[in-house]
Amino acid sequence: MSNINTNAEGKIRVEFSPNIRKHIAIEPCEINGQTVREVLESVFESVPELRGYVLDDQGAVRQHVTVFVNDDTIRDREQLTDPLAANDRVYVFQALSGG
Amino acid sequence: MATTFWIGTRKGLFQLSRSTSGQWNIDSSHFLGVQVPMLVSGPAGLFAALQHGHFGSKVQRSNDGGASWTEIGVPTYPPKPDDVPDVIDPMRNKAIPWSLELIWSMEMTSAGKLWCGTLPGGLFSSDDQGDSWDLNWPLWNLPNRSHWFGGGYDVPGIHSVCIDPRDEQQIKVGISCGGVWASDDGGASWQCRADGMRAEYVPPERAFDPDIQDPHRVVQCVGAPDHHWVQHHNGIFKSTDNCQHWEELKCETPSSFGFVVTVHPQDPHTAWFVPAIADSDRFPKDGQFVVTRTRDGGQTFDVLTSGLPQADAYHLVYRHALEVDMTGEVLAMGSTTGGLWISEDAGDSWQLVTQDLPPIFVIRNGTN
């Protein structure tokens, strides 16, 4: 958890929806990083089993998962290159699909 | 005889057990709310493939008969090299994805080696109880894969893996739609063995092309391993020469269309089917739910109705949802509308266990 802090000034806050936390124990955390890929990789480094729930086997965001940066969904779902600024919030949700 | 079956459904995994008084009951549930499309049980443990609606495929293993579970490795496709062109589905003219979509078959050797067939057509194996998986590159790299296409699902998939009990290096896989492929060297090389199968969904001059066939299910008789049966999209086929040739058989009443076939473990001439009207009408004829059984290698078929609903019954049985035990006497059958039946007399009569389960994908014998 070296890059992850739960209360740090200027860091990126990353949160996962309850549906994901039903399967993998992951609390909101704050991380340094320049892109969505960087901060998620930091989380996966600490919680490796989370990766397969968020990304597919080619490293893209799963079809039925959505990632927001603040109020907007990310644009690059394959490489996750969307840039981040200090104090941004990254939210990972399940999509509104299925039944 | 079998006393436990595992039932994989649209909304979880259920254990069906026979009490000492002979009653069959659901006596445990697992992974409620999550799809369980495939199961396998054997010397390496009990394995359940899970398909999360949002979070993809996962695999769980139990080493204590289902009392506890551990999430283990998932068969994942290695990163696609940049210089490898897409394989295009010839029917849809779309690239076949290079990524796991669904675990559609799992089998285990006597030594505990696992084989796993998937959508979009990759075959995986594991020598460490599912902790890690390897894509079978010889099959994935076949030039013929460009002839395969989806049937039922939008992409091709391996729904059947047959491991020859005489020599576990001999493997057959059934692909919708890609025919039957066989390896005699543990997966190092593959040959298409669908000679004699016939497809009605392509122009007549291509009807017998082997690598576009749609075998809905392929099964092998354990006691006579040269004998295989196929419920095909366009009928019933059998092979008595280790899949070198296939013979089409006709079940006129009620039909030869369906998804599932299971074969008696010792008698290669006995097999069971669950017919629907046709591919255009995937429900029982006249709302009468029946099982058909041949005992003479497909020359004649019994229509089995005792204990099965014979009015307003529109059950369909998927390709993995009719299981026979090692005695050939006990069968468990589950439908897409959540009906679950047991027969203890080789299908002559059936008893309803419940009609309230979620849609049933797969049933596997759990009796060790």
Instruction: Give the CATH number, domain containing residue A49.
Output: 3.10.20.30
> Using a CB-CB distance cutoff of 8 angstroms, which residues of chain B are in contact with residue A55?
none
Per the CB < 8 A criterion, the answer to whether A13 and A51 are in contact is no
- Domain carrying residue A22: 4-89
Per the CB < 8 A criterion, the answer to whether B59 and B47 are in contact is yes
Instruction: Write down the residue that tokens 């099959």 correspond to.
Output: B139
**Number of structural domains found in chain A:** 1
Establish if A23 touches chain B: CB-CB under 8 angstroms.
Answer: yes
- In this prediction, residue B87 carries a pLDDT of 96
List phi, psi (to 5°) of B169: -80, -15
The closest CB to that of B99, out of A20, A54, A56, belongs to A56
Strands B123-126 and B134-135: antiparallel
Residue A39 maps to a domain: yes
- pLDDT interval class at A95 (50, 70, 90): confident
Residue A99 maps to a domain: no
3-state SS class at A29:
strand
- In this prediction, residue B233 carries a pLDDT of 95
- In this prediction, residue A2 carries a pLDDT of 45
Residue A66 maps to a domain: yes
Residue A40 maps to a domain: yes
Q: CA-to-CA distance for B75 and B59, rounded, in angstroms?
A: 9
Per the CB < 8 A criterion, the answer to whether B340 and B360 are in contact is yes
Between A95 and B245, where is the model more confident? B245
Give B98→chain A minimum CA distance, Å. 8
Per the CB < 8 A criterion, the answer to whether B322 and B292 are in contact is no
Per the CB < 8 A criterion, the answer to whether B229 and B237 are in contact is yes
- In this prediction, residue B123 carries a pLDDT of 98
With CA atoms as reference, report the closest residue to B336 among B41, B35, B101. B35
Tell me: ipTM over 0.90: no
Residue A95 maps to a domain: no
Q: Nearest chain B Cα to A48, which residue?
A: B73
Which regions in chain B score pLDDT beneath 70?
368
> Using a CB-CB distance cutoff of 8 angstroms, which residues of chain A are in contact with residue B35?
none
Say yes or no for a CB contact (<8 Å) between B55 and A95: no
Say yes or no for a CB contact (<8 Å) between A98 and B80: no
Residue A94 maps to a domain: no
The closest CB to that of B54, out of A58, A59, A62, belongs to A62
The predicted model gives A30-55 an average pLDDT of 96
* Cα angle A44, A48, A50; round to 5: 75
Give B215→chain A minimum CA distance, Å. 28
Chain B residues contacting A, CB < 8 Å?
Answer: 52-56, 58, 71, 74, 76-77, 79-80, 98-100
- pLDDT interval class at A5 (50, 70, 90): low
Q: CA-to-CA distance for B221 and B232, rounded, in angstroms?
A: 17
Say yes or no for a CB contact (<8 Å) between A98 and B100: no
Give B82→chain A minimum CA distance, Å. 12
> Residue B212 burial (CB < 10 Å; 0-12/13-18/19+)?
buried
Q: What is the CA radius of gyration of chain B?
A: 19
Establish if A75 touches chain B: CB-CB under 8 angstroms.
Answer: no
Does pLDDT of A7 surpass 70? Answer: no
Per the CB < 8 A criterion, the answer to whether B278 and B301 are in contact is no
> Furthest-apart CA pair in chain A: how many Å?
40
H/E stretch holding B37 reads strand B35-42
- In this prediction, residue A1 carries a pLDDT of 43
Residue A98 maps to a domain: no
Taking residue B6's Cβ as centre, other Cβ atoms within 10 Å add up to 26
- In this prediction, residue B135 carries a pLDDT of 98
